Structure 1
Amino acid sequence: MEPLKYIYSETLIAQLTNALAKAHPKLEKDRFQKSVFASPWKDLELKERMSRISDTIIEFLPKDLDLLFPILKNTIDHLRQNGVADFNFAYMFFPEIVQKAGLSEFSRSMKALEFITVFSSAEYAIRIFYLHHHKDTNKQMLVWSKHKNPGVRRLASEGSRPLLPWGLGVPDLKKNPGQSLSILENLWDDEDEVVRRSVANHLNDISKLDPDMTWNFCKNKFGKSKELDKSLKHAVRTLLKRGHKQSLTHFSYDTEWSPTKVSLSLEKDSVRIGEKLEFHIGFDYKEKKTRKIRMEYLIEFVLANGKTGRKIFQLGEKNLNLGDKLALTKKHNFALITTRTYYPGKHKLILVINGKEVKEITFLLTKGKK
């Protein structure tokens, strides 16, 4: 699969240049494109290419925001007329321009982002305004949470997330995640699914910092509709994975129950980095009542400092009836990935049922083949 940075092709830059020139006829088109592609363009990664484009646009357009922001708006209008769709990842350099050029002009920058975010989402750009204008930005997000356009409403939730992936960290959002609850109250039952998904992800962020805050927000909201219940369950997914008793009980998982006899075995008691660990789970269900179970497994990894860390993985949900014999085989992949480094040593595999650790087994992780 081609790296994402290649979305910035000559064709896209040419289309952008033509739209800019229509909005700003004084643009030196050839010099602008040469500046975008100047060395070391080929070596730049995705975010670096985005930044290069935003910097080049700032360089070639007027510095006066009263001129710059209308040109950006007109450029986006021309791109739309040429078939470029809204909510477009490739054009996220537009909100970055506002972030870079308008940081000291809060009100004008907010008006620009309000328009631009519909075309290319501004959740990353808004983070710098949180750092420099925290109270004003929070107030703006609350206003936007009632906006008529779902793209702007989504920004109110997504941009204020305490743990926004790949986003600039905002310490006060992480330290005080409850400050965004008024925004989420306006949006949790939004008519737009994309907005609801953002709210669910935001609440899931909060659950990692303050589990009870997320549960207290969600617990009395279930039952309004299937769609909203789905969003709320997505919001509490980390609570369920981490064995939060109140949320598990709400979904009819008995957190005190476990099968009387469980078999947990490994195909091999050692596995190389880069290979798969195969394991088997089995038990018989002999109770008369139907029981709903949620199964997961934990891997207790060796860390670089010799200590251990845990990560949980889902196995699935099942309703058990009298006489059921559960037999499950699973393979855990220790393939090398960029987001995790493996260290040889003794590891643990732990079976979790309804948030309760019911069985564990050790195995040795060894160095991969040379």
Structure 2
Amino acid sequence: MPTADEMLHAATVEALAECLARAHAGRLRRLRGCGAELSGRRHSERVTAIRDALLDDLPAAFDAFDTILRAALDDEEFTGWMILPVTEAVAVRGIEVVEPALELLADLTPRLTAETAVRPFLRTAQRRTLAVIESWTHHPDAHVRRLASESTRPRLPWATRVPCLTADPTPAVPILDALYRDNSDYVRRSVGNHLNDISHDHPDLAVAVAARWALAPDPTTGAVLRRGLRTLVKKGHSGALELLGYAPDTPVHVMGPVVRTSAVAIGEHLEFECTITNPGPGQATYLVDYCVLFLRADGSHGTKVFKLSSRTLEAGAEWTIVRRHSFVPISTRRYYPGTHHVQIQVNGVPHPTAQFELTAQTRRAPGR
């Protein structure tokens, strides 16, 4: 993800002002002045500052506001990160008119994206907004079709929640039904992510939708289902596993995990192996994940599931897997020295753990 400085900075604002000036937007005093005020601000604060400057400089009447932005769309330089605060300004200026504002967002979305700007309309006018969004599922531009799926996601990243769709996602399901076999992978990935969002709060609904799609598939449907059910698979949801062909009661023998690095310094890698054997009388398919039980600050452990691989084994066949897991520091997780555990999970069923010690980060010698 780019940093705030890389997305919205003084030069971005100046480029946006030049595009709007060519669209006859006037002097744009607030917009041109706000570029110097962005340094040190978080990304969301920058979006808000630019949005508010646009709202001050552009006409209050939506028709005139719309005319200027549509004129700017004729300019090929009106694109990229500068579009984000523009779409947020549309969400404010057009919240009372709904349909014309949504159509403007659909026309803006190929220049970057507009999914976060659709959210206020879903909160205040769900029925009217969904009617427009459903029409987007037939749009010739894949960016607009993706907007239909992405804007209605219950857990859209970096966006405010729409409580009604979190509580009851079924009004948006017809949108997914129309798009799960879309000819664009860009669109289908959004559909899979949307289904995965649903699965967090309504797992049985997600499985029921996926099962219905499995009855009318095309060659890409399997990938959509795997993306859409990935969280449920990690949680061992039997319905999701069986739909994907991984029955939890499949006979299996697991040896390991055998930890090759019993002590791992923060910044290094854990290495382990396991062997999967099919003890049954016939062919069997296995989905193998691994869990790391991370030590928390309070001494408890939190579990995170990671993907390993899948394979079909003949009766009596063995499959040995070797994996390295990084403990290089990342912004989304803090590591605490002490006893951690690693565990193998097969078709959603956890198996015994092995422990290892995580030690304080080592310092590299100079020149190494």
Number of the residue aligned with 2:34: 36
Contact 1:298 1:349 survives alignment (8 Å): yes
Q: 2 CA distance for matches of 1:45 and 1:336?
A: 22
Q: 2 CA distance for matches of 1:69 and 1:11?
A: 24
Question: In the TM superposition, what are the counterparts of 1:1-370 in structure 2 within 5 Å?
Answer: 3=3, 5-8=5-8, 12-24=12-24, 26-27=26-27, 31=29, 34-39=32-37, 41-78=38-75, 80=76, 82=77, 88-222=80-214, 224-260=217-253, 262-285=255-278, 289-321=282-314, 324-369=317-362
SS of the residue aligned with 1:125?
Answer: helix
Give the C-alpha shift of residue 98 in structure 1.
Answer: 0.9
1:28-53 Cα distance to aligned partner (Å, 9 max, x none): 5xx566413223x2223433333333
Q: 1 CA distance for matches of 2:9 and 2:21?
A: 18
**Larger mean Cα displacement after TM superposition, 1-10 or 131-140:** 1-10
**Under a length normalisation based on structure 1, what TM-score does the superposition of the two structures give?**
0.86
Q: 1 CA distance for matches of 2:2 and 2:138?
A: 39
Q: 2 CA distance for matches of 1:103 and 1:303?
A: 44
Q: 2 CA distance for matches of 1:288 and 1:115?
A: 58
Q: 2 CA distance for matches of 1:283 and 1:229?
A: 24
Residue segments in structure 1 that go unaligned for 5+ positions in a row: none
Give the C-alpha shift of residue 335 in structure 1.
Answer: 2.1
Q: 2 CA distance for matches of 1:260 and 1:295?
A: 12
**Under a length normalisation based on structure 2, what TM-score does the superposition of the two structures give?**
0.86
SS of the residue aligned with 2:213?
Answer: coil
Give the direction of change, closer, same or farther, for the CA distance of 1:97–1:344 in structure 2 (3 Å limit): same
Contact 1:272 1:365 survives alignment (8 Å): yes
Give the C-alpha shift of residue 340 in structure 1.
Answer: 1.5
Q: 2 CA distance for matches of 1:2 and 1:192?
A: 25
Q: 2 CA distance for matches of 1:361 and 1:99?
A: 52
1:118-177 Cα distance to aligned partner (Å, 9 max, x none): 333211111222333344333433343344543333222111111111111222221212
Q: 2 CA distance for matches of 1:118 and 1:304?
A: 45
Task: Look up the equivalent residue of 1:346 and give its one-letter code.
Answer: T
Residue segments in structure 2 that go unaligned for 5+ positions in a row: 364-368
Aligned length: 362
Q: For the aligned residues, what is the CA RMSD?
A: 2.8
1:91-122 Cα distance to aligned partner (Å, 9 max, x none): 22221111233334434422322322233321
1:312-362 Cα distance to aligned partner (Å, 9 max, x none): 001111222356443222122222211112334433211011211123123
Q: 1 CA distance for matches of 2:221 and 2:90?
A: 34
